[in-house]
Chains A and B, each alone.
Chain A
Amino acid sequence: MGDMSELREREEQLQGIGASLLRKEDARFIRGQGSYVDDIKLPGMLFGSLVRSPYAHARIRSIDKSKALAVPGVVAVLTADDLKPVNLHWMPTLGSDVQAVLADKKVCFQLQEVAMVLATDRYAAADGAAAVEVDYEELPAIVDPHQSMAPDAPVIREDIADRKEVGHGPRTHPNHIFTWEAGNKAAADAAFAGAAVTVREEILNPRVHPCPLETCGCVASFSKATGHLTVYLTSQAPHLVRTVLAMLSGIPESKIRVVSGDIGGGFGNKVPVYPGYVVAIVASIVTGVPIKWIESRIENISTTGFARDYHGVGELAADVDGRIKALRFTALADHGAFNSHVSATKFPAGLFSICTGSYDIPNAYCRVDAVYTNKAPGGVAYRCSLRVTEAVYLIERMIDVLAQKLGIDKAEIRRRNFVRREQFPYTTAFGWTLDSGDYVPALEKVLKAVDYEGLRREQAEKRAKGELMGIGIATFTEILGAGPTKACDILGIGLFDSCEIRVHPTGGVIARMGTMSQGQGHATTYAQIIATELGLPVGDIVVEEGDTDKAPYGAGTWGSRTTPVGGAATAMAARKIREKARKIAAHLLEVGEGDLEWEVDRFTVKGNPGQAKTMKEIAMVAHTGNIPDGMEQGLNAVDYYDPPNLTYPFGAYVCVVDIDKHTGEVKLRRFYALDDCGTRINPMIIEGQIHGGLTEAYAVALGQQVPFDENGNHLGNSLMDYFLPTAVETPHWETDHTVTPSPHHPLGAKGVAESPHVGGIPCISNAVIDAFAHLGVTHMDMPHSAWRVWKQCHALGVDRH
């Protein structure tokens, strides 16, 4: 062993795991030199602009292109009839359904894609789109999913009206998509029947939109000469997109290159394949020139990748001490006009069955009924793994409802129900095996930090004076890192991920990944993993993602799967390289491999630390003839990592709100977030992710909703109406952590970015509702906007004194 201070110094120089390393990707962004899709400009490129339906449900009688074609600069107008010869007027969705690329005889949601106008610039394209005349026959629309399966409900999807199932089991109505259930209903029902106390609440997760600051778009470029298709695309999952495009177009996958450049935020919105992409690709194939299509903000909020719209019913059964005996959760899921729900094949309701949360609940049953409505298709997971926000919201709300019913403190009821440290690995009633956790210390740390008892005393004093103050708690468990291929696939492709590392002769490293950053700092985090694993300085490590011609195959970045899956692949690839390096070191030092030990950045001979070979020295030797007999040159490895389990990070959050009873305004006074994401690779980046996730939670809890009128017309689809918090109202966030490593992840890391969103929403809701708890209120639906909260104040009469 070398001198400890010298070892530490060498370790610090690497800037590996645990260092708050400043981000490598910043250099281009702070100069305005990012390369986002709308920055791509190719020779001869045309612009596409979509003609969209003004109606939520209508038959298309005719489309007249003639006036559009007469607009200066307009080159072509494409409709479903033009896509039919190449059989691309419909496309498969990630939810086992099909979706119209351009409306075929009928539109099923407002602003559905009807035609694309191609023109020499974006102004001419917009002029052309305005000049396309479509004759519609309006049909009655279904907006409320509770009406979808009424006997006399209009049939939304005539194309599949006769089909007995759409990928996920029997249908009972033309507007029914699937019914999915999990758990043991009989056991849960029996536990309910015998329970001392039960609670039930209807709980809505309203339709919201992830609304990244950059909208979706692409530049499609097909070469008639070579038959190659290149698509620059805002995609969180470029490899999956390439596979979908190959399936759709019949072009060999080897001739399709998808390039995700810099992405201006994704949050789930940029996982699916959207009609605009497909039309742009067909247009490029037809015209032989590149086609750019970029969404407007209104198109983005109205048509691509909404989230939630889960109309839940939560029920808990417990004993008189508040120990939960059974859980029954159901949800009516509004998937819009096409089931383009992003989900693993076997999980049409995503990971909804994580809804037992952090609690030891012996009996559980859940069911999701998905239906069609005349609204935009979806959905996507908005900064969460599919349906996890909905699940966590239900359990974290319901445990509060139970606490109120029994008069038990909301922190205490959680203590009584937590899965205990010694129970891990713990298998839930739904069959998920929580890998590790230590919930009590996390909660106690947070309660102490905020002086929970003091807050409750202050609340009692305020209540006595007629003031509204709420304290919210959330002690959530997340499920990340989809996922083991035995359980999770999309379109038949398992959800592994990958990393390829090449160490160059002078010790420079390039790593290529199957994941795709949208701001999470992958180029920095992955480089830190490699630095620690290979003992090479982080400054010499380059990480590339997003170009399917360069990177190995992977399922991309969503559901916080980057660190759990991609990070594991990185560590494993690096370890393969280190093992080869060990052989070379043993050869050079003329000792057995077992005589060597790894020491930060080198192999040393046990008991003789002066005899050593650094990784940098080995890198050079690996490219010479002086390597062990039979070994190939080079120091490269690729790893495809199939995780043995998902990861289960957790957190304990407390939120304090003050409510103005005369205006309904919710002022978020304090928010304290403790996250346990296992091993922390870059604490600075983690904290940044938590700030962002909490801010998105704040947005959802207090203001976001995509509203419709009874005819399916959007009532708020621009940033005039859709709530994105500004710096003024965004609260100050306090962060904290504990570290409970994942036992099955090579680095012990669990992932983090979605936790603050998933845990933050119920925490804020719980605080708002807690402010009214003494008045008998057990639930209020989000968003807790001033208007809605004021209505609650007014209904209770508290605004009158």
Chain B
Amino acid sequence: MAKKEIVSFRLNGKDVDVAVEPRELLIHTLRERLLHTGPHIGCETSHCGACTVDVNGMSVKSCTMLTVQCEGASMVTIEGMEQGGVLHALQQAFHEQHGLQCGFCTPGMITRAWRLLQENPNPTEEEIRYWISGNLCRCTGYQNIVKAVQAAARTLAAQPA
């Protein structure tokens, strides 16, 4: 067993340190060491996006990033979306628009949509579909996911800055 490295990063606003083998994937560190089981594992080839988290302002498929690459990083996962007991507009909209069924893709999907709305607060349907095309859903056919992202964008636009 290889020597472990200490890696420090910021996870949903809290500083964490973990000791990991250099080969350990971020998704396993999050799920098994840090008990953040929101991000899921749906494939091992970076296609499904169930493991999507936000690292330093970019959506990352955490099944294809090594934890040792995260030294000093700032990370957001589905667990960091709810603030002060208030759901993020995207979480509320996924519920209200029936944008989820089995829920397995939902954490990655919301985290990806969250990044989209940071970059583009008023996306078109085509832009939404393009932006979430790295996140697969087997249940919804995406139609209500698109509606949810649009609804969340409207909610956020109506909120005072």
A residues with a Cβ closer than 8 A to B are 22-23, 25-34, 36, 38-39, 41, 72-73, 121-124, 211-215, 262-265, 267, 294, 296-298, 518-521, 684-685, 687-689, 691-692, 694-696, 718-720, 724, 726-728, 730, 732-733
With A30-B110, A31-B78, A73-B1 as contacts: A23 and B43 at CB distance below 8 Å: no
**New A-B contacts (19) at CB < 8 Å, excluding given A33-B38, A718-B44, A719-B47:** A28-B103, A29-B106, A29-B107, A31-B87, A32-B36, A32-B107, A72-B1, A212-B104, A213-B139, A214-B40, A263-B102, A264-B102, A296-B44, A692-B138, A726-B134, A726-B136, A727-B129, A727-B135, A728-B129
Chain B min CB distance to A718 (Å): 5
B95:A720 contact, CB within 8 angstroms = no
Chain B min CB distance to A446 (Å): 19
A691:B44 contact, CB within 8 angstroms = no
With A32-B107, A34-B104 as contacts: A732 and B143 at CB distance below 8 Å: yes
A696:B138 contact, CB within 8 angstroms = yes
B40:A26 contact, CB within 8 angstroms = no
B95:A30 contact, CB within 8 angstroms = yes
Chain B contacts for A38, CB-based, 8 A = 31, 37, 40-41
Main secondary structure of the interface of A (DSSP, over half): loop
- A215–B63 Cα distance when bound, in Å, is 15
With A265-B138, A724-B136, A727-B132 as contacts: A298 and B44 at CB distance below 8 Å: yes
With A264-B42, A718-B43, A720-B45 as contacts: A214 and B79 at CB distance below 8 Å: no
Chain B contacts for A684, CB-based, 8 A = 98
Give the contacts of B39-91 with A (CB-CB under 8 A): 39-45, 47-48, 50, 77-79, 81-82, 87, 91
A718:B100 contact, CB within 8 angstroms = no
Q: Which residue of B lies closest to A212 (CB)?
A: B138
Give the contacts of B118-147 with A (CB-CB under 8 A): 128-130, 132-146
Chain B min CB distance to A558 (Å): 15
B141 partner, pick from A25, A27, A520, A733, beta carbons under 8 A: A733
Q: Which residue of A lies closest to B100 (CB)?
A: A29
With A213-B48, A691-B143 as contacts: A518 and B102 at CB distance below 8 Å: yes
B28:A122 contact, CB within 8 angstroms = yes
With A691-B143, A726-B133 as contacts: A264 and B23 at CB distance below 8 Å: no
B139:A692 contact, CB within 8 angstroms = yes
Chain B min CB distance to A13 (Å): 19
8 contacts between A and B (CB under 8 A): A36-B104, A38-B40, A39-B37, A213-B50, A214-B102, A265-B101, A695-B141, A730-B142
B136:A213 contact, CB within 8 angstroms = yes
Kindly list the 5 A-B residue pairs having the minimum CB-CB distance in the complex, ordered from nearest.
A32-B38, A519-B102, A29-B103, A264-B104, A32-B78
In the complex, B94 has a CB within 8 A of chain A: yes
Write out, one digit per residue, whether chain B residues 12-30 have a CB within 8 A of any chain A CB (1) or not (0): 0000000001011000100
Give the contacts of B96-115 with A (CB-CB under 8 A): 96, 98, 100-107, 110
Q: Which residue of A lies closest to B28 (CB)?
A: A122
A212:B136 contact, CB within 8 angstroms = no
A264 partner, pick from B40, B133, B134, beta carbons under 8 A: B40
- A121–B23 Cα distance when bound, in Å, is 13
Q: Which residue of A lies closest to B96 (CB)?
A: A22
- A374–B91 Cα distance when bound, in Å, is 46
A727 partner, pick from B36, B78, B145, beta carbons under 8 A: B145
Main secondary structure of the interface of B (DSSP, over half): loop
Chain B contacts for A122, CB-based, 8 A = 28
- A521–B138 Cα distance when bound, in Å, is 15
Chain B contacts for A73, CB-based, 8 A = 1
Chain A min CB distance to B42 (Å): 5
- A31–B145 Cα distance when bound, in Å, is 16
Chain B min CB distance to A541 (Å): 18
Chain B contacts for A728, CB-based, 8 A = 129-130, 133
B104:A520 contact, CB within 8 angstroms = no
B79:A23 contact, CB within 8 angstroms = no
Chain A min CB distance to B96 (Å): 6
Chain B contacts for A41, CB-based, 8 A = 32
Chain A contacts for B136, CB-based, 8 A = 213, 719, 724, 726
Chain A contacts for B82, CB-based, 8 A = 31
Chain A min CB distance to B152 (Å): 11
Q: Which residue of A lies closest to B43 (CB)?
A: A297
Most buried by A among B77, B96, B100, B101: B101
Chain A contacts for B103, CB-based, 8 A = 25-26, 28-30, 34, 262, 264, 519
B45 partner, pick from A72, A518, A689, A719, beta carbons under 8 A: A719
Chain A min CB distance to B11 (Å): 13
- A602–B139 Cα distance when bound, in Å, is 38
B21:A520 contact, CB within 8 angstroms = no
- A33–B39 Cα distance when bound, in Å, is 10
B102 partner, pick from A39, A262, A718, beta carbons under 8 A: A262
B101 partner, pick from A215, A521, A718, A727, beta carbons under 8 A: A521
Most buried by A among B94, B128, B143, B146: B143
- A212–B28 Cα distance when bound, in Å, is 21
B39 partner, pick from A32, A211, A214, beta carbons under 8 A: A32
Chain A min CB distance to B151 (Å): 13
A30:B79 contact, CB within 8 angstroms = no
Chain A min CB distance to B113 (Å): 11
Chain B min CB distance to A539 (Å): 15
B39:A265 contact, CB within 8 angstroms = no
Chain B min CB distance to A396 (Å): 21
- A36–B51 Cα distance when bound, in Å, is 14
Chain B contacts for A520, CB-based, 8 A = 101
- A214–B79 Cα distance when bound, in Å, is 19
- A294–B37 Cα distance when bound, in Å, is 15
A30:B87 contact, CB within 8 angstroms = yes
Q: Which residue of A lies closest to B104 (CB)?
A: A264
B101:A213 contact, CB within 8 angstroms = no
Chain A min CB distance to B118 (Å): 18
A733:B143 contact, CB within 8 angstroms = yes
A31 partner, pick from B32, B38, B137, beta carbons under 8 A: B38
B79 partner, pick from A31, A72, A267, beta carbons under 8 A: A31
Chain B min CB distance to A137 (Å): 31
B21:A123 contact, CB within 8 angstroms = yes
B137 partner, pick from A32, A34, A213, A294, beta carbons under 8 A: A213
Q: Which residue of B lies closest to A27 (CB)?
A: B95
- A124–B28 Cα distance when bound, in Å, is 13
Q: Which residue of A lies closest to B82 (CB)?
A: A31
- A650–B44 Cα distance when bound, in Å, is 39
Chain B contacts for A694, CB-based, 8 A = 141
- A590–B106 Cα distance when bound, in Å, is 54
Chain A contacts for B92, CB-based, 8 A = 30
A727:B142 contact, CB within 8 angstroms = yes
- A297–B43 Cα distance when bound, in Å, is 5
Chain A min CB distance to B22 (Å): 11
Chain A contacts for B24, CB-based, 8 A = 123
Chain B contacts for A124, CB-based, 8 A = 1
- A496–B79 Cα distance when bound, in Å, is 40
Q: Which residue of B lies closest to A383 (CB)?
A: B138
Chain B min CB distance to A350 (Å): 22
With A297-B44, A685-B98 as contacts: A30 and B140 at CB distance below 8 Å: no
Chain A min CB distance to B133 (Å): 4
Most buried by B among A31, A296, A518, A519: A31
B142 partner, pick from A36, A265, A695, beta carbons under 8 A: A695
Q: Which residue of A lies closest to B111 (CB)?
A: A32
Q: Which residue of B lies closest to A35 (CB)?
A: B37
Chain A contacts for B110, CB-based, 8 A = 30
B95:A22 contact, CB within 8 angstroms = yes
Chain B min CB distance to A377 (Å): 23
- A120–B23 Cα distance when bound, in Å, is 16
Chain B contacts for A215, CB-based, 8 A = 42
Chain B min CB distance to A520 (Å): 7
- A5–B114 Cα distance when bound, in Å, is 43
With A213-B42, A696-B138, A724-B138 as contacts: A719 and B48 at CB distance below 8 Å: yes
B48:A519 contact, CB within 8 angstroms = no
- A267–B104 Cα distance when bound, in Å, is 14
